[in-house]
């Protein structure tokens, strides 16, 4: 449901909130789609966004019930792209978007340094099923 606090004085969703929704959809997908709770996976690797974009086709208003679809658009060795569609309950596409995530791991012995790594094999197998 679109929350009061997500809408702006024009009465529609303030657009940076779509990216928050995309990330929330990704977190739910890790837990319910991949069967690996996001918070647990983050103990080992991180997924910083390196690119993201969205196209807004029709506004979303307070109180509306929306669905967010998620699909794996690309699965590379060290990064993947997730594609999103925001659908109104009437079935029309309100917005589409995508996020390219890199995969990183903490450098041993340095809490603040990270390096690019390959997607863990087990996780890759699970992600593959959503292409």
Cβ closest to a second copy, residue 19 vs residue 130: 19
Give DSSP secondary structure letters for 84-124.
EEEEETTS-EEEEEEEEEE-EEE-TT-TT-EEE-PPPHHHH
- Choose among 2, 40, 49, 47: nearest CA to 21: 2
Quick check: 31 binds a second copy (CB under 8 A)? Answer: yes
Q: How many CA atoms lie within 13 A of 24 on its CB side?
A: 8
Cβ closest to a second copy, residue 14 vs residue 128: 14
Is 8 catalytic? The answer is yes
Annotate each residue in 37-76 with x if it binds a second copy (CB under 8 A) or - if it does not, as one string: xxxx-x---x-xxxxxxxxxx-x-xxx-------------
Contact residues: a second copy, CB under 8 A: 1, 3-5, 7-12, 14-17, 19-20, 23-24, 27-28, 31, 37-40, 42, 46, 48-57, 59, 61-63, 112
């Amino acid at each position: 449901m679109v929350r009061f606090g997500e809408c702006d004085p024009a009465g529609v969703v303030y657009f940076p909130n779509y990216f928050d929704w995309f990330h929330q959809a990704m977190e739910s997908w890790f837990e319910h789609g991949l069967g690996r709770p996001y918070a647990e996976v983050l103990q080992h690797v991180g997924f910083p966004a390196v690119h993201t974009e969205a196209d807004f086709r029709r506004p979303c208003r307070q109180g509306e019930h929306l669905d967010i679809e998620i699909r794996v658009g690309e699965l590379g060795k060290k990064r993947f792209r997730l594609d999103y569609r925001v659908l109104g309950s009437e079935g029309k596409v309100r917005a589409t978007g995508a996020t390219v995530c890199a995969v990183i791991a903490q450098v041993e012995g340095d809490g603040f340094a990270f390096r690019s790594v390959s997607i863990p094999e087990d996780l890759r197998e699970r992600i593959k099923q959503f292409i």
